[in-house]
């Protein structure tokens, strides 16, 4: 999957912790996992440095978040790289989804590569 962003380096995109949006869409992010991928229907915060207002909840350095409420305050699902939070903080790359996601609860750990040009 290609994430189009122009920057001096990947470090310069993520180091300050500020959210930077992408517009690939939830279906594109779900292709990283395959047919088992699952996300809650709302929030859909995607890009770099994704985090809700409750920082112990799902977060993703590169990826997408989902929530069952129509906001990004308490996301319980995520797909991406550099992820963490509820419900399995050790799942740092893959898909975590609970609380009524679209394809059932998932706890998929993956191995991914980030290539920077």
Q: What is the tally of structural domains in the chain?
A: 1
Whole-number Å distance between alpha carbons of 29 and 111: 15
pLDDT given for residue 74 in this prediction: 94
Q: Which domain holds residue 31?
A: 10-109
β-pairing verdict for 42-51 and 20-21: antiparallel
Is the residue at 117 inside a domain?
A: no
Whole-number Å distance between alpha carbons of 8 and 64: 23
Q: How far is CA 39 from CA 2, 20, 94, in A?
A: 20, 20, 12
Is the residue at 115 inside a domain?
A: no
Average pLDDT over residues 7-11: 94
Whole-number Å distance between alpha carbons of 103 and 98: 10
Residue 81: pLDDT band (50, 70, 90) is very high
Is the residue at 4 inside a domain?
A: no
Looking at the chain, the whole-number percentage of residues with pLDDT higher than 90 is 91
34-71 pLDDT, tens digit each: 999 999 999 999 999 999 888 789 999 999 999 999 99
């Amino acid at each position: 999957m290609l994430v189009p962003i122009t920057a001096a380096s990947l470090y310069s995109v993520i180091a300050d912790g500020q959210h930077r949006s992408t517009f690939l869409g939830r279906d594109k992010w779900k292709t990283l996992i395959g047919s088992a991928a699952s996300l809650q229907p709302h929030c859909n915060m995607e890009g770099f440095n994704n985090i809700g207002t409750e920082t112990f909840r799902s977060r993703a350095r590169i990826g997408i978040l989902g929530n069952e409420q129509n906001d990004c305050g308490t996301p319980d699902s995520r797909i991406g790289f550099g992820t963490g939070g509820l419900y399995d903080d050790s799942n740092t790359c893959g898909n975590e989804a609970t609380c009524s996601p679209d394809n059932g609860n998932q706890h998929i750990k993956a191995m991914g590569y980030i290539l920077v040009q």
